[in-house]
Structure formats: C-alpha cells, structure tokens
Structure 1
Amino acid sequence: MGHRRYTVSLFAIACALSTPAQANAEDPAASGDPNVPLQPVTEGARVFEPSYFEQFAPRNALDMVQRLPGFSIKGGNDQGQRGLGQADQNVIVNGERFSSKSDTIRDQLARIPAGDVIRIELVDGNSLDIPGLTGLIANVIYASEGASGQFSWRPGFRPYNTEARYLGGEISMTGSDGPLDFTVSLSNDNNRFGADGPILVTAADGSLIEDQQTKFSGGFDNPKLATNFTYDFGGGAFANLNLSYGEDFIFRDMPETGFPLVGPVRMRDAHVRERGPRYEIGGDIEFPLGPGTLKLIGLERYQRDNMTAVVVDTFDDGSTAEGSRFERRDGEGERIGRFEYGWNMWNADWQLSGEAAFNRLDRSSRLSILEPNGEFEQVAFPAGNGGVTEDRYEGTLSFSTQLSPTLSIQAIAGGEYSKIEQTGSAANARSFQRPKGSLALSWKPADDFDVSITGARRVGQLSFGAFLGSVNLNDDNQNGGNNALVPPQSWEVDVEANKSLGAWGSLKFTARQAWFEDFIDWFPLDDGGEARGNIGDATRTHLELTATINMDPIGWKGARFDINGVKRWMSVTDAFTGEDRPFSNDLIDRLNVDFRYDIPDSDWAVGSGINTFNPAGYSRRYEVGRGWEGPTFAWLFAEHKDVFGLTVRATAGNILGARNYFERTVYEGDRPDAPVAFREYMDRRIGPIFNFQISGDF
C-alpha cells in the first residue's frame, strides 16, 4: 500500500532515534517540506523506528515485525477462512488490510525491504477504522522509492530418510514509478521430512502379533509467481491488483516390512502422490464517495488437486499379492465480491459492508482392488463422487469511537444467509440464516498498559471434502460422506492484556473462552460407517502468554528471550461412547522459548530454542489414537549479518533427539463395547535437521 510518499530526510531522522518512543499525531508540515504528505503517527501508539531493529540487521519487514517485543503474528486471510469477512489479523500495512487469500501476511511482509520501512506502530485495534481488529495490532508504515530487490535461499538436509532440499526460497522486486507501486516475486515453499523405526502390533492381552520395520519419507514443493500492483489516482482514490499462479507437488513414501509371529514376512510398498495448479486473481479499489469512502473488493481463487495412493503387500512365501489404489480429483474454487463503505458521524467511525461468496468443490474418485492377475480392478465407491456448492451472502454494520481518553468501543452487528447444495449419490440442499457480530472494549489507563475485551458471535467454515467419501489405504480407514453437515457456530469472549516492561521488554496475556454449537468431529453413520459430522455443543478455554525479556538492563547487551506458552481445556461429548473428551487432534499445550544474542560490536548473532507441542488424540467409531512428536525439539543457530553483503544463517535442529510417535487401539466393532482387535505403537527416529539461509538484496 505504497500510495503515500516520504522524504529521505525524514527517513534519516527516524534512523537517528535509538529507542521506541510514544508519539502523538504529527503535523504534515513538520517534515520541513509542506508539499510532502506525512502520514500522522496513530495517537497512543508505541512507535518502533528503524534504529530499534539495527542490531538484528533485518532484510525485510517480516524480520522487523518478528522482533517486536511481546508480539507474535496471527490471523490473516487464508484459504480456510470464511470468505474475506471482517479483518482478523494483527498486522496491517500502511493502515490497510490485504485482500488476498493465496498470500499470508508473512509472505507480504517478507517482500517489503527493511530500508523502505519508516516505522512500525503497536496500536490498539479499536483505534483503527478497520472493523474486526481488536487487541494489539502492528501497523507497518513504509514507502517504496525506486526499484529494489531481495532474495532468500533456504537449503537444508537431514542425515536419515530424506533427500537434500536445494530449491527453497524466494526472489522478489519492489518498486515505484510515479503513482504505480509494484511487487513481483517468485518463490518455492518446500520441505523434506521423514522418520524410521518399528511399529509393534499387539493383541488385547499384550502379546505380539507383528513387528513392523517402517520408513517414512515425504516432502512438498509449492513454486509460485505472485504480483501486486497499487495505483494512486490522487484525491484519496487508489486501487490494488493481486495475481498469483502456482503448482503444488506432494509426495509420501511409506515402505514397510512386517514380521508376524505366525505367517510369511510381508513387504509393503505404499506411496501417495499429489499435484495440481492453483491461481488467484484479486483486487480492490477505494475512493471518496459522499461523506465517506467506498471500497470494492473482488477475488477469484481456484485449485485442482490430483491425488493417487497405492498400497501393495507381497509375501516371502510366494502368496498372492494384496493391494488397493485410490485416485481422487478435486477442483475447488471460491469467488467473492465485497463492498465496504466507511464514514465518520457523531464522533464515531462507521462502516456498512456486504459480501457475496460462492464456493464450489467437484470431486471424482476411483477405488480399485489388486486382483490375482496383478491388475487393479475398479470397485463401486459412489460416496466419493459428486459436488458441493455454497452461495453465501452477509451484511454488517459497525461503529467504533473513543468514549474517553482511555476507553474505546467497537461494535459489529450483522448476519448471513447461505445455501448449500450437494450432487452425486447423496444429493441434498439446505439453507441457513445465522446472526454474527462482536462487541469490543479497549482500556488504556497508562502508556505502558492496555486491556481489551471482545465478545463475538462467529460462524465457522465447512470443509467441503467432508461431504464426500474418501479412504486412507495405509491405515485401512474409510471416511464416509455426510450430506447433512451445517456450519459450526460459537460464542467467544477474548481478553487481552499488554504490559510494556520498558527496557526489560514486554508481556502479553490472552484468555479466550468459546462455546460451540453444531461442533464438528467424528460422527456415526446409519450404515455402520463414520464421517465428519455435527455432534452437539462443546467448550474450549484457551490461555496464552507471550513475553520478550531483554538482558540489557543487567549488562548482557544484545541478549533476549522470546517466550510463548499455550494451555487449553476442552470438553465435547464423544458421539460413540457418550464420554467427555477433548477435541480430536486439537492442541492441549505448547511451549516455545527462543534465545538470541546479537554480539555487541560484531556482525555475529547466536542463539538457541526449545519447543514442546502436545496434541489431543482422536476418537473414531472403531478406534482411538494419537500421533505426536517430541517430547522436546531443540535447536542452535549462528548468523553472520555481513558475508560479502549477505546474511548467512545456519541452524542445527532436533539436537535433543525428538522422535515421531503414534499409537492406536482398534476394536472389532463399535466402541466401547466391542473387544479390542489389536493395538499399534510406533516409535520412529527423526534425527538431526540442518537448515541454512542466505539472504541479500540487489
């Protein structure tokens, strides 16, 4: 959003400041040039000038935002979000949200050169005229002058189970030509991963049934070309155009050798391949109209996924091979039109918005069984074929105002209408009306302390794939389709408190309570199968602490700790047993601690970190299980900020030897009354992980 211009002299003054400062709104004439429009500092904001980040030698705006004390990036438009809707991210750029779903906010920040950043403001979301923003928001103020480019190459390797990763990274160019600002990037988000080790299959009494030696290797590449153009028409009117095209390549290889207590040795060849194109065309135009400003937004997104999974078992005694093949072709698209009209009235910011979103999924599937002649023969699988569409319309009215110098309020009220239609063997159609909205209060009794409280009624997004059937060949599971799914709804209360510790750093505490209706989890079907379905009411309590602790006050210059911890309590009634349990595969707790030491008077930085992640298990009709990795990941890194003008970083990960675990109990019939058929326990080596990053600009 580089439609605002700044002078070089202003940038030099900003760099001369050595600490973040509290600032008030500035007069445009303060720059010394009355012809230069200077965007005023948001009232009440904590301002971080470029000099604050100098010790980190940032290459782009992402490097800078990640070093804000007590702040972590969250939210932003993504493909799982319901339309565009109200803003839900905690980072904006030049006071504007970004209307793309293919690019994350991290992608966008990584393409803004650090030299173009004027300042970053930490500000109360209620003080901005963007409905939906609450709590602490980072506003990145930047201006592009001329053309500049940057690149990042991110190779890596693991000693076990995976091939080296050579082609990860991004190259981008940003620039300005009169009223036109542009960004062009070519990126490849990729990774390689794997593990090896035993799986023990035991009977209900604990006796060994089979010892399986397994190996897992996988990876993905997501090359993408993305562009953004911003044109300033003058007079407060400007437009954005976002274009992107990419390809997805995913592979998983899972060979296995089974040594049963009785019977022949079994050799399994199992693999999955996925690939397909995706594109997005999106844009918006904003201009003054009457007493306010009108913004029109349009977006078209589509992706195709071609997936093939094959499992074949052969035996050392020459027995007939057994196997299956599952093929699925998905075409998924989304088309959105949205308007936002904002104006000021009665000392408050108002906005009227409307959105129409049209989502679609077309799926064709084929399930085949390996015959004794070595050929795959297709079998009937009608639940895996069909289509799902949703036509959705919503309207909202919002206002925000300052009730006092320390208290502000934001209110949003609206509703949506949606119609869901399904074709195929389980054709169905339904329509829904849902209220939605929020009320947020922010209190800032002191410059270094603020609290926000938000109550909201939200409507969740559906995964269209859950309407149709699919299979997991390696786990011998079949997921039925459910044509009666409805969107989940929730009442949520969020409390966020931020406390600046001055030179010591910052603390942020978040508490969130959610009450769900029509919660979605595994659900029994009448035909004896199972699918994703609405299983009733549920609750979740979320507590989170984010902290930055600087060691400068005790004389350890350049050292800091960044800490993030989460704890959740969940409650939902199991649809198969009636027991209370957590949500399937949801997070129970997490702890992340990062240490970084920028060595004074040098170009070196070193550091380390630890991470623990504890997920809940899952509960299905015929089995329960849990997969996790740990118990603790740890890493070390070293970074040199000027190797012939480049930043070079090397990281050694998983130095404590975290492992890949999975366990499940499979029953002969419906839980909980059916006897146990068998249990599996997997304990596989991941090994060390070595990553490198070389970044620079041109």
Structure 2
Amino acid sequence: MKVSAYSVITLLGLCANTFSSATVAITDAHTTHKQQVAATHYENETLEALYGQNALDKINQLPGFTLTQSNNQRGLSAASGNVLINGANAASKSESLTDILRQLPSDQIAAIHFYSAGHPFSTASQFNQLVNIITHSPKLGAHWQARSKLTSAYDDYRPSELATQISLPGERWQHQLNMHYQDDRSQSTSLFQAVNALGRMVEQGHEALFEKRNGRLLSITSQPNLVDSRLTFSAKAILDDFQLTQSRENGSPLSWQLNESESRAEYEMSMNWQKTSNNDSLFQLVVLHNRKHTDVRSEHFEHSLLAVPYQQHKTQQEQVIQFNTSLPNRTYSPEFGIEISRNQLAARTDSDGDFERAQVSEIRYQPYAAITTQLTAQWQLYTRLNTEHTVLKSRARKSNQTQLGFIKPLIRLSYDPQSNWDMTITAQHQVDQLDFDDFAQSQDTEFNRTQSGNLSLKPSQYSELGTEFNLRLFETLFLNINVYHQWQKDVHEFIQRPNGDAMIGNAGNAQKIGGTLSATWDTATWLSDSQLTLNYDFASARYQDPLTGQRPIDGLIPHDATIEFRQDSQYYSWGIDVYLPFTETNYFVDELYVEEDNVEFSAFMEYQFTHTLRVRTSIATINTAKYSYIQHFYDTDRSGAYTGTLRFDERIDPVVTLSFLGQL
C-alpha cells in the first residue's frame, strides 16, 4: 500500500506530540517549563550601529537574515511575514510589510531581536528565521521625506513623492498620522519582431510604453497608555490611479495601441489587543475590516480605427477576527488560537459586448494548538496542529458550493549548541490560499490573452520537508542555508475548458526541490564599516503535463541571485547592488511564454548634513536594464504544431532619484 507524504507528516505530528508529552512527564512532571530560545539582541550601541532612518533600513543589515513577505490574500495567518512588531504581526491587508517597516522611524525602535533557529511566537510559526522589533513611546515630532526623479531618456518629467509621519504623544493616548503622496512615472522602448513557423520575418517594429501611478495614503494609528497590555487602533484610506499607454509602429498607416486605466479605493480598520498576565501568559485579539473597489477600463486598437472595449468593476470585502493565547511558563508551553474570516468578491465584466457577473463568498474557520518541548539544553521540539474548515460559494452563469476541510500539522526540531552554528528541521503540510480573481474572467490585452473564471477551483496544497543551517565562520562570515523538498497537490496551471477557453484550474500533482543561500561577509578589515551580501535562490520542479509530458511547474525561476556591497559610517552610507540574470517560464494552453533579463547595476549614496536632515541619491539600472519577452505559439494547444514566435526586447535607461529625509 502506497502512503502519501501528507499521511506520513500527519503521523509524524501525532507521534511528536506523544513523544513531547512523554518527555516532559518523565523529566519534570511537577514544575513549569519556560521556552529557551536563543536570540541575537541589538540594543543601545549595537542598535545604533545599524545605519538607517527606519526599521526596514536596519533589519536589511542584519547578518544572515532574509526578509520574507507572505501573500496579501485573505485572512491574517498568511498575510504578514517574518518580522513582528512588539511580538505581533502587522495587522494590515492594504499595505505590504516593507511599507509598514518603512513607516516605523528608527528613533522609535528600542531593540531588535533576531531569532535564527526557532522562536516563541505562535502567530509566525511557519517561519524558522524571525525578527521582533521592540518599540518605545514616541516623542512629539515628525519625520518627512521628499523624492524626485531627475533624469529620464524619454521625457522631461519630474515625478514626486512626499511622505510624513507625525507622532502625537499624550498622557492618555499616543497617535501617529501617516500621509503619503506619489506621482510616479516610467517609460521604456522595445524592438519587436514576429516570425512564422518557417522562421521567416512577418512583422517588426518599435514599441513605446508609458506608465503612471498617482497614489494617496492617509492613515492614523492610536494607542492608549496602558500598564499591562497594548491596544492599537488603526484606520487607513488608500486611493490609487494607474494609467498605461502602449503603442507599436510597424510602418503601416494603422498602428497597434492600448490605453488602460485602473482606479482603486481601499479602506481598512483594525484593532490589535495584547495582554500579558503576571505569569507572562500572552493573550492577543485582532479584528480587521477591509473594503476595496477597483475599476478597470481598457481600449485596444489593433490596426483599426475602432477600439475593442473592456470594462470591469470589482468590490471586495473582508472581515477577520483572530484570537491567540500562549502560556510559556506552563508545562509544554501550550498555545491555542482560532481565526475566523469572511470574504466576498463581486465582479461585473463587459468584454466586447459579453457581459458577465461573478460572485464569490467564503467563510473560513482555522483553529490551532501547539506545544513546545525542551528536550535538552540544545534540542527543542515544536509541534503544531492547524485545522481549516471552509465554506465556499461562487456564482456566475451557474452556482457552485464547496465545503473543504484540511489538517495541517507542523513539526520543528531545533538544535542550538550555543556555538557558531545551529540547525532546524521542519516537516509541515500547508494549504495555499485561493486567489478570488481566478473565479472571474480577466484579460491581458498587452499579450493578447483572456482567462475564463473557474467557479470550482480548489486551493493547492503541499507537504514539505526542509532543513535550515546558520553558520558563523571566522567571526566575519555568516551563512544561512535552507534546502527543502515539496510534494505538491492540486497545483494551479492553465487548463482548457470544453468550449476551448483557458482558465486556471487544479491540474494534478508535482514535486519541487529548492534552496536558498544568504551570505554576509564583514569586510571591515579592507574597508571600515563595510559588508558584502549574497542572496541566491534555486528551485527545480517537475509536473506531468497532459499536453506535453513532464515539465517544470508554471512560473518557476530556476536561479535568482543578488549581490550587495555597502559601507555604513556615522555620517554617510553608500552601496552598490548587482542583480544577476534570471529566466521565468510560463505555460499557457497554446503558448509558451519566457521572460529573461540581463545583469543590472544600481547604486545609492546617503549623507547626513545635520542631525535632522539627510540627502540620498540613487541611480537605478546604471548599465541600462534589458528585458526580453518571448511568446512561442502553437496550433490549438502546446501539443499542436508550432505556428510562430513574437519577441519583445525592452530597454530602460538609467534614472537618477534625489531624496531629502528629515525630522522635526
């Protein structure tokens, strides 16, 4: 009888819980137990040595740490990343983790704790590495920045960006007001050519692309001054307008042109309450409401005087309540919690006279329980059992209702010999979140693609076995190595409907192996206050395609690497980034799409004129960015005859940006 990897991990989870209970009972059945987790603390002088104006600047300099952002889809369990603020996830769906960290001024940071192998925070149990930022009460004042692009090879524009964070402390309440305005534009030019199945040129020409984003953000965060708890209220409003103009010239009187606009209005309110009792027990309650409206309008002229219109309006709502409690001083250090989320999407689409309404609603219940066992002074075992029950309803031209249930165990075995290395072994089963946009039809006019909605889409799953090492060599070289093997189920791939349309669907199973390497080398012996950082990602996957046989999964990037060298002194900082080439391949029903880039260089220099004013200059794509987008077409589907190729070679010239950063 063949046993699936999911069953194996479930059995391991039950055994680990049993083993944990037995171990604690034998060693000390009558005393409480507190987790012993090693962490590197950056405080006082070591914190000041991390250069930067905000939290994002500082954590990017931690040796061996790689910032990981989870997706921003439904719920809070998978919407954050491996950085906590005062032991809690950033309760926001409207802003990314990097945006939130960028808004946290450095003078509000009291300490940064870096956990390289194992940590005591249940809300981020999916991460081995984790950073917890400790803040203190802000002082009255404001932080501001103004940014402008100075050069462009295509047009004389000066896009601007203005942002400010105002802190208003008081005896009973502390308030922080964030305001952000952005008018960002970018342009590129491309050469394109189309060849037929015989390799003969059938079309060639030039393409010009212009993009503009106008964004406004207003948010306020309020905290009452409490003794043994922390209560945070937050409200945000975000308005974004996007415009895209794309035209192609091939020598004929009538050209190809695309005019697209998108407007987005998003509103969010949240409450985050944390309470610590006298025995260090922690209770957390998070409540969030998010509502977003999106309007898309697209006009496509293809060698004609008449436009092909496309319009779509979407309304998305989300309500989440999450409760967590951890008892670190109790036997087993138990943790319990539950998250309940309600999500809705309503989409109205008008595509060339074809009108469609699509509605999706979902209610998810996700309870969990976990325990921690200190096996020895060096070995720690963490076991967690997550469950999920989902009721999913969808409706377009027909209705569909699905009830899904999942068991998602996680086992983490950490070894920390309190020396120059540590190790973590993890076995887990995860269920990815569904993207509600895949339930409604969509259009990508730029690459001449359409996608039908799939009302019966199920989430993809994977079982994973991974090992992570942290090594400090010669006191100057820090290495983080992570390798993993995934057994994927119900993978999402482009499939063909019986009527010939394409859509995202559940397409079977796949296996994926991969790894990451992060190396930080302290080069102060050659240049004071300098370091060299290398990040490298590797991935390889195999999926049995019913059209063409075994191939990688869709969207896989086999190799991705960056190199950064920087020097951070008391009054100035500078650095150079090198982005090495990568290739991404996507498999559509009748098309093989490949995206390639080349080596890119960028640099920055920052100087502190006074205690309250800094100036930063950055140059993006110093060597001119070059990208290639290649579409290989086939008759009917990819198992059919090859019919031709359309290739775009894009270039983006260097852009210089000048920024002023200060505080009042």
Same fold (TM over 0.5): yes
Q: Could you tell me which residue of structure 2 aligns to residue 333 of structure 1?
A: 317
Matched, 1:455 2:447: no
AA matched with 2:321: G
Q: Could you tell me which residue of structure 2 aligns to residue 465 of structure 1?
A: 437
Task: Pick the aligned partner of 1:626 from 594, 619, 640.
Answer: 594
* Count of matched residue positions in the alignment of Structure 1 and Structure 2: 629
Counterparts of 1:644 and 1:139 in 2: how far apart (Å)? 27
Task: Pick the aligned partner of 2:45 from 51, 64, 85.
Answer: 51
Residues 116-150 of structure 1: CA distance to partner in whole angstroms, max 9, x if unpaired? 32222222563414343342322222212432321
Counterparts of 1:466 and 1:408 in 2: how far apart (Å)? 41
Matched, 1:695 2:661: yes
Residues 182-215 of structure 1: CA distance to partner in whole angstroms, max 9, x if unpaired? 3221124664333212210111111111112111
Matched, 1:416 2:388: yes
- Could you say if the C-alpha distance between residues 104 and 417 of structure 1 is closer, same or farther in structure 2, counting changes exceeding 3 Å? same
> What SS does structure 1 have at the residue aligned with 2:250?
strand
> What SS does structure 1 have at the residue aligned with 2:101?
helix
Q: Could you tell me which residue of structure 2 aligns to residue 583 of structure 1?
A: 553
Task: Pick the aligned partner of 2:634 from 658, 667, 685.
Answer: 667
Q: Decide whether the 8 Å contact of 2:314 with 2:347 is kept in 1.
A: yes
Residues 144-192 of structure 1: CA distance to partner in whole angstroms, max 9, x if unpaired? 2432321122322552346635332421023532353332211246643
Q: Could you tell me which residue of structure 2 aligns to residue 596 of structure 1?
A: 566
Residues 17-59 of structure 1: CA distance to partner in whole angstroms, max 9, x if unpaired? xxxxxxxxxxxxxxxxxxxxxxx99863222234235466422
Q: Could you tell me which residue of structure 1 aligns to residue 255 of structure 2?
A: 267
Q: Which moved more, 1:633-642 or 1:588-597?
A: 633-642
Alignment of 1:4-403 (within 5 A): 44-52=38-46, 54=48, 57-75=51-69, 79-80=72-73, 82-85=74-77, 89-124=81-116, 126-133=118-125, 134-161=127-154, 164-188=157-181, 191-234=184-227, 236-259=228-251, 264-287=252-275, 292-314=281-303, 321-344=305-328, 346-368=330-352, 379-382=353-356, 385-403=357-375
AA matched with 2:389: Y
Residues 290-349 of structure 1: CA distance to partner in whole angstroms, max 9, x if unpaired? 9854322211111111000111145xxxxx634301000011121111222332465332
Matched, 1:430 2:419: no
Residues 597-655 of structure 1: CA distance to partner in whole angstroms, max 9, x if unpaired? 346xx733333121024232111122111123x31110232221225742211122212
Task: Pick the aligned partner of 1:685 from 646, 651, 662.
Answer: 651
> What SS does structure 2 have at the residue aligned with 1:466?
helix
> What SS does structure 1 have at the residue aligned with 2:226?
strand
AA matched with 2:87: G
> What SS does structure 1 have at the residue aligned with 2:447?
coil
Counterparts of 1:573 and 1:463 in 2: how far apart (Å)? 23
Q: Which moved more, 1:566-575 or 1:161-170?
A: 161-170
- Could you say if the C-alpha distance between residues 344 and 141 of structure 1 is closer, same or farther in structure 2, counting changes exceeding 3 Å? closer
Counterparts of 2:328 and 2:619 in 1: how far apart (Å)? 53
- Could you say if the C-alpha distance between residues 459 and 439 of structure 1 is closer, same or farther in structure 2, counting changes exceeding 3 Å? same
Q: Could you tell me which residue of structure 1 aligns to residue 492 of structure 2?
A: 520
Q: Which moved more, 1:325-334 or 1:466-475?
A: 466-475
- Could you say if the C-alpha distance between residues 348 and 221 of structure 1 is closer, same or farther in structure 2, counting changes exceeding 3 Å? farther
> What SS does structure 2 have at the residue aligned with 1:413?
strand
TM-score, with length taken from structure 1: 0.85
AA matched with 1:71: F
Q: Could you tell me which residue of structure 1 aligns to residue 448 of structure 2?
A: 476
Gaps of 5+ in 2: 1-33
Task: Pick the aligned partner of 1:608 from 573, 576, 591.
Answer: 576
Q: Decide whether the 8 Å contact of 2:193 with 2:205 is kept in 1.
A: yes
AA matched with 1:688: P
- Could you say if the C-alpha distance between residues 515 and 506 of structure 1 is closer, same or farther in structure 2, counting changes exceeding 3 Å? same
Once superposed, what is the RMSD of the aligned Cα atoms? 2.5
> What SS does structure 2 have at the residue aligned with 1:126?
coil
How big is the shift at 1:505? Answer: 4.2
Counterparts of 2:78 and 2:170 in 1: how far apart (Å)? 32
AA matched with 1:380: D
Counterparts of 2:218 and 2:123 in 1: how far apart (Å)? 31
How big is the shift at 1:97? Answer: 2.7
Gaps of 5+ in 1: 1-39, 315-319, 369-378
Larger RCO, structure (CA 8 Å, separation 6 or more): 2
Counterparts of 1:400 and 1:88 in 2: how far apart (Å)? 23
Residues 366-392 of structure 1: CA distance to partner in whole angstroms, max 9, x if unpaired? 123xxxxxxxxxx2243xx22111111
TM-score, with length taken from structure 2: 0.89
- Could you say if the C-alpha distance between residues 500 and 191 of structure 1 is closer, same or farther in structure 2, counting changes exceeding 3 Å? farther
Percent of aligned pairs sharing the same letter:
18
Q: Decide whether the 8 Å contact of 1:158 with 1:687 is kept in 2.
A: no
AA matched with 2:88: E
Residues 421-460 of structure 1: CA distance to partner in whole angstroms, max 9, x if unpaired? 1122132111111111311111101243221122111111
- Could you say if the C-alpha distance between residues 686 and 380 of structure 1 is closer, same or farther in structure 2, counting changes exceeding 3 Å? same
- Could you say if the C-alpha distance between residues 242 and 145 of structure 1 is closer, same or farther in structure 2, counting changes exceeding 3 Å? closer
